[in-house]
Structure 1
Amino acid sequence: MNRAVIVQAKRTPIGKKDGMFRDIEPHILAAPLLRELSTGITHEIDEIILGNVVGPGGNIARLAALESGLPLSVTGMTIDRQCSAGLEAIRTACHYIQGKAGSCYIAGGVESASTSPFPRRARFSPDRLGDPDMGVAAENVAQKYKITKEIQDDFALLSYNRSWSAYREGFYQPEIVEFGKMNIDESFYKERDMEKLLKRAKPIFIKEAGTVTAANSCGINDGAAAVLVMQEELAKELNMKPVLRFADSAVSGIHPDYPGISPVRAIRQLLNRNGLTIGDIDLFEINEAFASKIVACAQKLAIPYKKLNVSGGALTTGHPYGASGAIMVTRLFYEVQRRKGMKYVLASIGSAGGVGLAVLFEVIG
């Protein structure tokens, strides 16, 4: 079997909706990443695979490839699996390589909430099952799994402090490809008294007895991220250093009222199939769309916080929907290079409609 490895990973800075990228369309936002990741190997790339959720529609991956100046022979495919679209793009590229459909891909995701032409969100589920907004679904998870506002706020504060610490330590800088003159996430323009903000924040999705607030939820954001994934023997031929080797992936569905807990089933399925336990995984990245969901996932799986989103996540830096899964893999790519003794890492994300996706990587020493 061909083995797929990740040899490079990059992202743009993450902007707030109607913020620093307010006029930048998604294909333009993604183009610098494609140029960066393809430098010196444009003749090897089989295809660009990008996740995208909020439009404008069309084949953004192909459009971004053309915008970036890649050869006309490099095709593109755009995937919508809602919030897990960017992770699905990477998973798809890895499976293509294993199946010998190709040997080199740029895969990830891009999102521009600022320029989205859609006034309303897409439908997530039929009315007969219920079609909750993601904030209401986060409340559903909080109520079902008894995740109080205080517990959510504690995790949000932990994530915020970890993010700012990582920023100050310069951990994010190797990930980022400068866009214009912008080279840091917009969330780091100004530090806030997060502890005070969390205490003052009121429920915004369920007014009475609600626990999910703006402070313990992610923002709405613009950004892009992608990885260069290739067949392991090709990487050796090109003298490129593999960092992560694709091991396996799993996807699982649950009731669309509780999408936030969907990573649990996918992660269990993935670990069971590979004869692994939570203790065998050195680092986890699970998307921080809402504090309620990540706390619930950590509790159900018994993931210690010291292994989970160790440099913060979307609660601080933001959640550009289609890009977030690729941002998590990019984070793992650099985290394992700062540490010794890593063997396995895992990225997982839950999506609207009740879809959980998990991808397992082996760390190459």
Structure 2
Amino acid sequence: MVLAARRTPIGTRSRALAGVTLEHLVAPVLRAAVQDAEAATGADVEVADVVLGNCMGPGGNPARVAALAAGLGVQVPGMTVDRQCGSGLAAVLAAAQAIEAGDRRPRIAGGVESASTAPTRSVDGAAYGRAPFTPEGWTDPDMVRAADALATADAISRPRQDAHAARSHRRAAAARDAGRFQAELVPLAGARADDAIGVSAPLLARLPALFPEGTVTAGTATRISDGAAALVLAPQQARGTAPGLLIRAHAVIGCDPALPGIGAAPAIQGALDRAQLRIRDIAAIEIVEAFAAQSLAVLDRLGVAEDDPRVCADGGALALGHPWGASGAISMVRLFSRLIRGGAPTGTTGVAAASIGGGMGIAAVVEVIR
């Protein structure tokens, strides 16, 4: 179960966190999460492993580098997970599965992405933005074009997309102003709060489409970002009297690589089925909002209204930003804040999920234990 959850502010690429290297972005968060867990349980946390999601970093096993940078001790190993936009959540589930399999020692799991300091990649001297998500002969769309294709396939209009993005910004601004992010944030030099909240609906409506034939705009696509998140996981028996989030069920699925944005929907349904729950039973839903069209397509498939207050109640990636390898873990941090820090009673349930480039989806169902 999750006993502690922290994250950095999220900075748009080349802005507030541009000078912070990967390990120094996440190391303070690892330390803060351990300190929180020790304060909550009244016992030392002997970390068995650090598992971090990362997509575009320098290689060299960033999780191990971060564990050393955090001062956790040379005995603490690290493992880096790449499941693209689902990497941070995949890291949390990998840590949970190790505990479920019988190694009852605590672990830190999460994700980190420094798009600002990511190395330039090349093949035969030619630079490229990302590695292919599919083999030769398969559809491998640019993510903006994939979101446009999904909007067309599901008849998701430009006004719906604009309204969804504006709603995310309003909710994030309200949460920031009310101080609901404060307890989860680990301040970093140069960025003490999320740096990109507050785009208005009239402004969104004036933005041009990114492609002439499409409907996706810079305002309905999340920003490429820097950020990190970390959670401490331990067996339920180790919590003492500390509240936490029990991971009840999870699912990872594959879907059509041509429409990768829908992946979160079947993943959520699969996790709900394993937990023997329905979407109406869930009190808090956190979906990584890579694009407004993608989020709307997922909600439509789940039968959830686009303005449902359960969904990204304090705003999502459309407002806060999307540090790829960290975003899934940030969704779990948000659930921890909404349910544990928010005082939800025992038995309250939540879902974190992400659609993934290449045609996949990942989801986890959690339950409050007090």
CA shift, 1:181, in A, is 5.1
Match of 1:110 among 98, 109, 112: 112
Q: Is the 8 A contact 1:42 1:70 kept in 2?
A: no
CA shift, 1:301, in A, is 0.4
Say whether 1:220 aligns with 2:216: no
Q: Is the 8 A contact 1:10 1:227 kept in 2?
A: yes
CA shift, 1:161, in A, is 0.5
2:217 and 2:8 map into 1 onto residues whose CA distance is 27
Say whether 1:90 aligns with 2:99: no
| CA distance 1:116–1:181, shift in 2 (3 Å) | closer
Superposed CA deviations along residues 143-182 of structure 1, whole A, max 9, x for unmatched, are: 1111111111111111111010011010011110111253
Aligned-partner SS, 1:125: coil
Q: Is the 8 A contact 1:282 1:344 kept in 2?
A: yes
Match of 2:215 in 1: 211
Q: TM-score, normalised by structure 1?
A: 0.93
Match of 1:201 among 194, 207, 222: 207
1:163 and 1:6 map into 2 onto residues whose CA distance is 24
Q: Is the 8 A contact 2:17 2:191 kept in 1?
A: no
Task: State which drifts further: 100-109 or 223-232.
Answer: 100-109
Match of 2:338 in 1: 335
Q: RMSD between aligned alpha carbons?
A: 1.4
2:231 and 2:281 map into 1 onto residues whose CA distance is 25
Match of 1:29 among 5, 20, 25: 25
CA shift, 1:64, in A, is 0.4
Superposed CA deviations along residues 206-226 of structure 1, whole A, max 9, x for unmatched, are: 312x11000111001000001
CA shift, 1:270, in A, is 1.6
Q: TM-score, normalised by structure 2?
A: 0.92
| CA distance 1:42–1:30, shift in 2 (3 Å) | farther
Match of 1:348 in 2: 353
CA shift, 1:267, in A, is 1.3
CA shift, 1:339, in A, is 4.8
Match of 2:161 among 147, 152, 174: 152
2:296 and 2:174 map into 1 onto residues whose CA distance is 21
CA shift, 1:199, in A, is 1.0
Letter in 1 for 2:338: E
Letter in 2 for 1:326: A
Superposed CA deviations along residues 266-309 of structure 1, whole A, max 9, x for unmatched, are: 11112223321111111111110100011111111012322111
Say whether 1:139 aligns with 2:148: yes
1:170 and 1:37 map into 2 onto residues whose CA distance is 19
CA shift, 1:118, in A, is 2.6
2:99 and 2:140 map into 1 onto residues whose CA distance is 36
Match of 1:360 in 2: 365
Match of 1:74 in 2: 76
**1:1-365 correspondence runs (5 A):** 5-39=1-35, 44-119=46-121, 120-180=129-189, 182-188=191-197, 191-192=198-199, 194-204=200-210, 206-208=211-213, 210-236=214-240, 241-304=242-305, 305-337=308-340, 338-341=342-345, 343-365=348-370
Q: Is the 8 A contact 2:339 2:348 kept in 1?
A: no
Q: Is the 8 A contact 2:17 2:190 kept in 1?
A: no
CA shift, 1:82, in A, is 0.3
2:297 and 2:327 map into 1 onto residues whose CA distance is 19
CA shift, 1:126, in A, is 2.1
